[in-house]
Chain A
Amino acid sequence: MNGFSAFLSKELLQALRSMRFLIVVAAFLILGLMNAPLAKFTPQILELAGVGEMLEGLIPPTPVAFDAWAQFFSNIAQMGILAILLLCGPMLSWEKSKGTLVLPLTKGLGRMSVVLIKFIVMTLLWTLGLLVASLVSWGCTLVLFPGETVEYLALGIFLLWLLGVFLLALVPLSSVLFRGSMSGLILPGAVLFIFLIALAFPNLISWNPLLLGQNSVLLLIGAAETGDFLAPSLVAGITAIVTLVAALISFRKAAL
């Protein structure tokens, strides 16, 4: 763990100066801001556009707070996760291919520190983004749908968070195994793709970690039970730990 704190402060300084920090905050601010107004005013907008009649029955006539949160969960599970992957995915592979790790590593910086800190900082940025989006969305919902509450909101958001951490945990191993400045995205991309396909197999679906993104919103209206998310959470958590350990071990013996 040599040089842990030195490398951590370097990484945080880099997140600040490279604008990564700012981009995460801005992107998730927007993602959090859209949901409630969109849910609230969609019927009016459609009415104005003159297509209200056609969509009768497809959209609820009087939107409720749940509609705002449904928007939120689908936005974060898709755009939010994509954004954080694209922003953080290259963090290690770019350094590896550019050669910026050579100088600190040949001075004795621990290779474990590098992998761990990259994962920690990625998770930190994701947590920050999700927190910003959640708080903003909560505020907007409070204003536009006063007095309405939803159940299991915190748990639902935690499941979203877990999905993100699961995908980010694949980044270090991907960066170590493959070459190229964007190679950190290969494994998360492939895993995402495989599990998307796996959604089509009914007998496997209860284990699919992607349920954490898509379906956790169902908790909020009682259409799903907390127990339904145990298996996907276990798959996500265990996969994350195993791939992180694999990254730690393989990076110790990686040619640079």
Chain B
Amino acid sequence: MGLLVVDSLSKRFKDLQVLDQLSFEVEEGSVFGFIGKNGSGKTTTMKIITGLLKAEGGQVYIKGRKVEFGETPTNHLLGYLPDVPEFYSFMNAYEYLSFCGRVTGMNSTDIDRKATELIALVGLQDSAKRRIRGYSRGMKQRLGIAQALVHDPVLLICDEPTSALDPQGRSEILAILSQVRERTTVLFSTHILADVERICDTVGVLNDGKIVLGGNLERIKSTHRRDTIALTLDGVSLAGLDTLATELRALPFVERLSLQGMAMLVDVKSVQEDGQQLLAQLVEKRLTLLSYQVIEPTLENLYLDVIA
């Protein structure tokens, strides 16, 4: 059983069915990328996992313990960064982290050590003694990551943690997320697929209230590989390309062939064997190859496919 188990969650707002029997699991030690378009229900799901919102049906388990709506003992296991974190702006970052530490029952030595360590980790050293009132959005996002990690939670849930950050900040936060995976399982939502490809080992794409694509990222990519070869040729006119396309389509191993400008996209059964035959054909026709590329499916392609 996964560290986080979401089992047939249903949630509706008036006549809008946001989650429809949503189920997925997050394994211990993984970094799970939660993807879905605006309004697909990512934040709603996270609020149910943290007990802030009531689901009409289904249940959530963290480490085998059931999440209750409202006050829930599972919250001791959590670090949560909401999409727009709100702090006590009359405190400074250091005071806020100490407050969070005390809430979770840490002793003052641990709090001191952890707060100092986290402030350095998220790069807030220069403003740690300034009131949060004056922080920029990006600074609040950094503090948000720090507060979620104060008590070394078992599960870290972040709602679009990189959305307010500059490119460097984004990079730093992603590094932190993948760095904490040794002790902490991470679930984060995002629209930035490059972030997912960079640090996630597992993904779930939420659409129409369900996971429409989910599991290990490498495995998803290999099962969805379409063995496509992209070719560009030298000295062939558009008309010539058309004729060539018709000829190649007649070959038994070519499953599909399309033209994209001067490039030719050929779907074959197996890149290894059929690719050789395709090359042989081109050599026979005395054509000069400018480029030959095996296309890997990107998460973006897969995502656009499944939510279409």
**Which A residues form the contact surface with B (CB < 8 A)?**
2-3, 5-7, 9-10, 13-14, 17-18, 98-100, 102-112, 252-256
User: B87, A255: Cβ atoms under 8 Å?
Assistant: no
Q: In the complex, what residues of A have CB within 8 A of residue B51's CB?
A: 106
Q: In the complex, what residues of B have CB within 8 A of residue A2's CB?
A: 103, 105
CA distance A60 to B69 in the complex (A): 64
Q: In the complex, what residues of B have CB within 8 A of residue A9's CB?
A: 99, 102
Q: Give 25 A-B contacts (CB < 8 Å), ordered by A residue.
A: A3-B102, A6-B103, A7-B103, A10-B88, A10-B91, A14-B90, A18-B90, A100-B87, A103-B82, A103-B100, A104-B100, A104-B103, A106-B50, A106-B52, A106-B80, A107-B78, A107-B79, A107-B103, A108-B75, A108-B76, A108-B78, A108-B104, A111-B70, A255-B53, A256-B52
Main secondary structure of the interface of B (DSSP, over half): loop
Q: In the complex, what residues of A have CB within 8 A of residue B102's CB?
A: 3, 5-6, 9
Q: In the complex, what residues of B have CB within 8 A of residue A5's CB?
A: 102
Is B247 part of the contact surface with A, judged by Cβ < 8 Å? no
User: A102, B103: Cβ atoms under 8 Å?
Assistant: no
CA distance A13 to B71 in the complex (A): 25
**Which chain B residues in 35-60 approach chain A with CB under 8 Å?**
50-54
Is B279 part of the contact surface with A, judged by Cβ < 8 Å? no
User: A99, B103: Cβ atoms under 8 Å?
Assistant: no
Interchain nearest-CB distance for A7 vs B (Å): 7
Q: Which 10 A-B pairs have the closest CB atoms?
A: A6-B102, A3-B103, A253-B70, A99-B86, A106-B80, A108-B76, A17-B90, A108-B75, A100-B86, A6-B103
User: B105, A103: Cβ atoms under 8 Å?
Assistant: no
Interchain nearest-CB distance for A4 vs B (Å): 10
CA distance A56 to B90 in the complex (A): 55
Interchain nearest-CB distance for B56 vs A (Å): 13
Partner of A3, one of B53, B69, B91, B104: B104
User: B71, A111: Cβ atoms under 8 Å?
Assistant: yes
CA distance A7 to B102 in the complex (A): 9
CA distance A9 to B91 in the complex (A): 12
Q: In the complex, what residues of B have CB within 8 A of residue A3's CB?
A: 102-105
User: A99, B84: Cβ atoms under 8 Å?
Assistant: yes
Is B85 part of the contact surface with A, judged by Cβ < 8 Å? yes
Is B151 part of the contact surface with A, judged by Cβ < 8 Å? yes
User: B147, A103: Cβ atoms under 8 Å?
Assistant: yes
**Binary flags per residue of B83-97, CB closer than 8 Å to A gives 1, else 0:** 011111011000100
**Binary flags per residue of B282-297, CB closer than 8 Å to A gives 1, else 0:** 0000000000000000
User: B90, A13: Cβ atoms under 8 Å?
Assistant: yes
Interchain nearest-CB distance for A87 vs B (Å): 16
Query: With A108-B104, A253-B69 given, is the CB distance from A102 to B86 under 8 Å?
Result: yes
CA distance A17 to B79 in the complex (A): 28
User: B85, A106: Cβ atoms under 8 Å?
Assistant: no
CA distance A14 to B69 in the complex (A): 29
Of all chain A residues, which has the CB nearest B131? Answer: A17
Of all chain B residues, which has the CB nearest A11? Answer: B88
Query: With A102-B52, A253-B70, A256-B52 given, is the CB distance from A109 to B103 under 8 Å?
Result: yes
Q: In the complex, what residues of B have CB within 8 A of residue A105's CB?
A: 52, 75
User: B75, A106: Cβ atoms under 8 Å?
Assistant: yes
User: B80, A103: Cβ atoms under 8 Å?
Assistant: yes
User: A252, B70: Cβ atoms under 8 Å?
Assistant: yes
User: A107, B104: Cβ atoms under 8 Å?
Assistant: yes
CA distance A110 to B73 in the complex (A): 9
Query: With A3-B102, A14-B90, A111-B71 given, is the CB distance from A103 to B52 under 8 Å?
Result: no
Interchain nearest-CB distance for B4 vs A (Å): 14
CA distance A252 to B71 in the complex (A): 5
Interchain nearest-CB distance for A175 vs B (Å): 15
